[in-house]
């Protein structure tokens, strides 16, 4: 089967062929992907997924690629990017937003309106759907505190509403992460009224702190490992001797040991291997099993 020709016949959105992974990952990974499809709406997405499932084709839904590692030099499946799912409705403290909407853009938009509860989100370089999937968060808050409900496409290609209590939000995980056949389409967030000046001052202070403590000038995907209970992943990695170490094209940041940076166009394979090495050494030295926060795709 000529996959590209069949996808074009489907008319399920814009198609890009043989794309560089560096354009679809914040790590700016080397390598390529066979094809990326941008569905315009739920009907096109459903039609695309029906075709993919019928023909048993590998696929991956992606947002901004801010938490994923392609551990391959060539992804031979279909990447599906939901950037056209970007509707936004603000009704007092209730926000209905498409899964493809940029999380940081949304946070700044809402802060200007004096809506509080979302101050943790600026600086998280993902989409709203990806943030729900990973239960993204910072500063002792996360999506689980503010998401009221979401609209999903089920593995059976049915549209369903799931409520907060259904989503099993815990530290950097959710029902969606444990059940990847469910696709987030739209999110309803409930915030509160607050003081615009106080909100913006807090966001500015946190931005300054991030710039001072995180290597934001280099390609990365944020924190690599979850913090173990009662400890910090960066402390363990630093104590294991990895802070600032260079491994060919990739490095463990000398500013924050829980960041792997990719200043020289390294591959996801290199990053995966380094992650496994760090996990092994931390386990050996401190008897702690570090849990990877980022998603590795083979």
Q: What is the pLDDT of residues 104-121, one digit of tens each?
A: 999 999 999 999 999 999
What is the model's pLDDT at position 215? 96
Question: What is the rounded average pLDDT of the residues 190-209?
Answer: 95
Question: What is the rounded average pLDDT of the residues 161-181?
Answer: 95
Asked if 172 is an active-site residue, the reply is yes
Per the CB < 8 A criterion, the answer to whether 185 and 99 are in contact is yes
Per the CB < 8 A criterion, the answer to whether 70 and 29 are in contact is yes
> Which of 66, 174, 223, 267 is the catalytic position?
223
Give the C-alpha separation, 145 to 171, whole Å: 11
Q: What is the pLDDT of residues 17-44, one digit of tens each?
A: 999 999 999 999 999 999 999 999 999 9
Question: Does pLDDT of 163 surpass 90?
Answer: yes
Give the C-alpha separation, 164 to 287, whole Å: 35
Give the C-alpha separation, 38 to 239, whole Å: 44
Q: What's the residue count for the chain?
A: 298
Domain ranges of the chain: 3-81, 88-198, 215-297
> Which of 66, 111, 172, 174 is the catalytic position?
172
Give the C-alpha separation, 134 to 145, whole Å: 13
Sequence-separated (6 or more) residues with CB below 8 Å from residue 221: 25, 26, 27, 66, 67, 68, 69, 260, 294
What is the model's pLDDT at position 176? 97
Q: What is the pLDDT of residues 251-280, one digit of tens each?
A: 999 999 999 999 999 999 999 999 999 999
CATH architecture of the domain formed by 3-81: 2-Layer Sandwich (3.30)
Question: What is the rounded average pLDDT of the residues 212-235?
Answer: 96
Q: What is the pLDDT of residues 90-99, one digit of tens each?
A: 999 999 999 9
Residue 132: pLDDT band with limits 50, 70, 90: very high
Asked if 293 is an active-site residue, the reply is yes
Range of lowest pLDDT (46-55, 119-128, 276-285):
119-128
Q: What is the pLDDT of residues 232-258, one digit of tens each?
A: 999 999 999 999 999 999 999 999 999
**Can you name the residues that pair with 189 across neighbouring β-strands?**
95, 147
Q: What is the DSSP letter of 291?
A: P
> Which of 149, 186, 270, 293 is the catalytic position?
293
Residue 68 CA, chain-centre distance (Å), reads: 7
Fold observed for domain 88-198: 3.30.465
The CATH class of the 215-297 domain is alpha beta
What is the model's pLDDT at position 123? 86
Report the candidate in 183, 202, 160, 140 with the shortest Cα–Cα distance to residue 50: 183
For the four alpha carbons of 27, 28, 29 and 32, in that order, the dihedral sign comes to positive
SS3 string, 173-196, reads ECHHHHCCCCEEEEEEEECEECCH
Question: Does pLDDT of 197 surpass 90?
Answer: yes
Give the C-alpha separation, 268 to 287, whole Å: 26
Residue 63 sits at the vertex; the CA angle it makes with 25 and 228, to the nearest 5 degrees, is 75
Question: Does pLDDT of 1 surpass 90?
Answer: no
State the maximum Cα–Cα separation within the chain, in Å, rounded to a whole number. Answer: 58
Residue 293: pLDDT band with limits 50, 70, 90: very high
Asked if 223 is an active-site residue, the reply is yes
Question: Which two structure tokens, joined as six digits, stand for 106?
Answer: 């949304």
């Amino acid at each position: 089967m000529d996959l590209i020709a069949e996808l074009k016949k489907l008319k399920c959105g814009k198609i890009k062929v043989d794309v560089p992974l560096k354009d679809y990952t914040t790590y700016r990974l080397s390598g390529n992907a066979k094809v990326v499809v941008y569905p315009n709406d739920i009907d096109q997405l459903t039609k695309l997924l029906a075709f993919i499932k019928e023909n048993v084709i590998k696929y991956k839904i992606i947002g901004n690629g801010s938490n994923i590692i392609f551990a391959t030099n060539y992804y031979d499946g279909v990447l599906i990017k939901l950037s056209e799912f970007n509707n936004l409705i603000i009704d007092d403290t209730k926000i209905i937003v498409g899964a493809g909407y940029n999380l940081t853009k949304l946070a700044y938009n809402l802060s200007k309106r004096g809506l509080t509860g979302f101050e943790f989100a600026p600086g998280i370089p993902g989409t709203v759907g990806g943030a729900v999937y990973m239960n993204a968060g910072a500063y002792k808050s996360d999506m689980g505190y503010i998401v009221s409900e979401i609209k999903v496409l089920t593995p059976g290609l049915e549209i369903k509403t799931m409520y907060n209590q259904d989503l099993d939000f815990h530290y950097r995980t959710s029902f969606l992460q444990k059940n990847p056949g469910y696709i987030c389409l739209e999110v309803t967030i409930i915030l509160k009224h607050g003081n615009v000046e106080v909100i913006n001052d807090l966001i500015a202070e946190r931005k300054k702190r991030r710039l001072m403590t995180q290597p934001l000038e280099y390609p990365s995907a944020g924190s690599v490992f979850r913090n173990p209970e009662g400890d910090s992943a960066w402390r363990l990695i630093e104590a294991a001797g990895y802070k600032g170490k260079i491994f060919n094209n990739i490095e463990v940041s000398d500013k924050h040991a829980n960041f792997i940076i990719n200043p020289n166009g390294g591959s996801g394979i290199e990053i995966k291997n380094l992650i496994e090495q760090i996990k092994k050494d931390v386990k050996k030295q401190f008897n702690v099993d570090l849990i990877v926060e980022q998603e590795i795709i083979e």
